[in-house]
Amino acid sequence: MENKFAELRKRYEETAALGSARAVLAWDQRVTMPPGGAPGRARSMSALARVVHGKATDPEVGRLIGETWDWAQAKGPDSFEAAYLRVLKRDYDRATRLPSDFVAEMSAAASAAMAAWEAAKKNSDFPSFAPHLEKMVGFNRRQAEFLAPGEPAYDTLLDLYEPGMRRAELEPLLGELAEGMKPVIKAISESSAAVSDDTLKGDFDEKAQLALADELVRELGFDFTKGRQDRSVHPFTTGFSLSDIRITTWTMRDWLPACVYASLHECGHALYAMGAPAGFEFTPLAGGAGLGVHESQSRFWENFVGRSRPFCEWLLPRLRRHFPGKFDKTGPEELYRAVNKSGPSFIRVEADEVTYDMHIALRFRLETALLDGSLKVKDLPEAWNAGMKELFGIVPKNDAEGVLQDVHWSQGTIGYFPTYSLGNLMAAQLNEAMRADMPDMDGLIARGEFAPLLGWLREKIHVHGARYFPADLLRRATGKERDAAPFVRYIKEKYSGIYGF
């Protein structure tokens, strides 16, 4: 059986290596490719997707999984071999349900849709993107039917991003989260506390912003010998291997937090990817446990650390060094209050911690309606604006500020958005557990000693890779089930201190 398992590993490694090459093309499209390259790139992506899918669904792979299954499980459920087979079988069973022609077509359509989205966002031109979005919605319906005929389509798609999660479990969590945020939002809107973010506005040199961003992620633990940071239209993270992780950020000349917190967020994803054991390289275990877990890592560093009072104390001298004269009159407490100012906002990735999940609630509502056909793509901008009016009391001035702001639907990732809120909830639970184990956590952050925090996450989360389902991983790390209460508790305590309610 050792030989058969070795043969299976060899086959998977080749498939994973080709998938890595496809990821390089996807990264290049979003970072360096000229706009005119989109049609050719779509053909290349489609061809590679067909090859990768063909190798991943080779009947010989299925035969080897079957022949080595009992042997691997006998080593124990937590063994490398058992976990390897468990994750690979899940992926194989899912992949074999998708026809190769469908996979190639969806890949080509997604590549074209992404290029169309970038142009549409730049010009605030939703009608030019709408036909592409209609295709991606259609592809998702077909994908769900291929994967789980007769099952609720949204459950099937959600499971792609958060293994084991179902809508029946998700909606009560999101509902509890929304109910917890409503009184906080109301109290903030009625507060007379003066919280200003003017110190973060002005004219910030973009080269200085990028230099600061590189310094920040390096201090958190990002290894520039195994990764790099670039600029893109929408910040993202991708990995070609465990030793080649790419992150991107963006800059707004007149709003410094856009760059700072995008970098902290993407760095969290990268640290998770870099933290997998070397032995997981080019195995099914190399990825994260789920996108909600991934988001818990990014939101932990972006918010629970990056928007904390001790981090602001540590950050302020660096802001003064990169932007001479701009922060000389700003104190740590003023900076802390500024980066945590709460209020209605148009852009999800710029939303504060209190209102962020309301943005996710809107997207969840809209994508489920698109999928079941109760909302037509042509009516999406109107529905988006109505939702913004209902939830935030504001209406975007154009579609670039509204329905076109996120890249996800152009990539065909319907069912992805709830993982952001799941990540918030898990980050809060991890934060509570870490503080219980590390009483001087605030002192460590204030001194810029981030290694103990990263080490805790490495031990509790990163080292396991994709070995466990998200709910199981959380239970192992904290001893708790998924719960919205810690996040609600964290928000109420933090913002009552800032706004005095």
User: Which CATH number does the domain 167-499 belong to among 1.10.1370.30, 1.10.645.10, 2.70.98.10, 3.90.1150.140?
Assistant: 1.10.1370.30
pLDDT of 264 above 90: yes
In the prediction, which pLDDT does 140 show?
98
If you search the block for the tokens 């998702």, which residue do you land on? 140
In the prediction, which pLDDT does 208 show?
98
Q: Which residues contact 96 (CB under 8 A, 6 or more apart)?
A: 57, 62
Angle (nearest 5°) at CA 453 between 447 and 459:
155
Asked if residue 406 lies in contact with residue 234, where contact means CB atoms within 8 angstroms, the answer is yes
Q: Is the dihedral of CA 15, 18, 24, 25 positive or negative?
A: negative
Say how many CA atoms lie within 13 Å of 296 toward its Cβ. 28
Asked if residue 273 lies in contact with residue 239, where contact means CB atoms within 8 angstroms, the answer is yes
If you search the block for the tokens 């557990």, which residue do you land on? 433
In the prediction, which pLDDT does 296 show?
98
| pLDDT tens digits along 69-122 | 999 999 999 999 999 999 999 999 999 999 999 999 999 999 999 999 999 999
Residue 389: CB atoms within 10 A of its CB come to 12
Asked if residue 226 lies in contact with residue 243, where contact means CB atoms within 8 angstroms, the answer is yes
| pLDDT tens digits along 109-155 | 999 999 999 999 999 999 999 999 999 999 999 999 999 999 999 99
pLDDT of 164 above 90: yes
In the prediction, which pLDDT does 349 show?
87
User: Is residue 487 helix, strand or coil?
Assistant: helix
- 485: exposed, middle or buried (Cβ count in 10 Å: 0-12, 13-18, 19+): middle
In the prediction, which pLDDT does 350 show?
87
> Which residue among the candidates 81, 118, 162, 266 is catalytic per the annotation?
266
| pLDDT tens digits along 451-497 | 999 999 999 999 999 999 999 999 999 999 999 999 999 999 999 99
**Beta strands across the sheet bearing 227-231:** 227-231, 244-249, 237-241
Tell me the mean pLDDT in the region 46-65.
96
Whether 266 is catalytic: yes
- For 348, 358, 410, 415, 427, the CA distances from 365, given in Å and listed in that order, are 15, 11, 17, 11, 23
Phi and psi at 400, nearest 5°, equal -65, -35
Q: How far apart are CA 263 and CA 177, in angstroms?
A: 26
Asked if residue 284 lies in contact with residue 12, where contact means CB atoms within 8 angstroms, the answer is yes
- For 96, 211, 216, 304, the CA distances from 319, given in Å and listed in that order, are 52, 11, 11, 20
Paired tokens of 460? 């509790």
Torsion of CA 90, 94, 100, 106, to 10 degrees: -120
- 186: exposed, middle or buried (Cβ count in 10 Å: 0-12, 13-18, 19+): exposed
Per-domain boundaries in the chain? 2-132, 167-499
Query: What is the share, in percent, of the chain residues with pLDDT greater than 90?
Result: 98
Q: Which residues contact 491 (CB under 8 A, 6 or more apart)?
A: 180, 181, 184, 353, 354
pLDDT of 439 above 90: yes
| pLDDT tens digits along 321-362 | 999 999 999 999 999 999 999 999 999 988 999 999 999 999
| pLDDT tens digits along 168-225 | 999 999 999 999 999 999 999 999 998 999 999 999 999 999 999 999 999 999 999 9
Tell me the mean pLDDT in the region 407-413.
95
pLDDT of 62 above 90: yes
Average pLDDT, the chain: 96
How would you write 321-358 as a 3-class SS string? HHCCCCCCCCCHHHHHHHHCCCCCCCCHHHCCCCCHHH
User: Which band of pLDDT confidence, cut at 50, 70 and 90, is reported for residue 3?
Assistant: very high
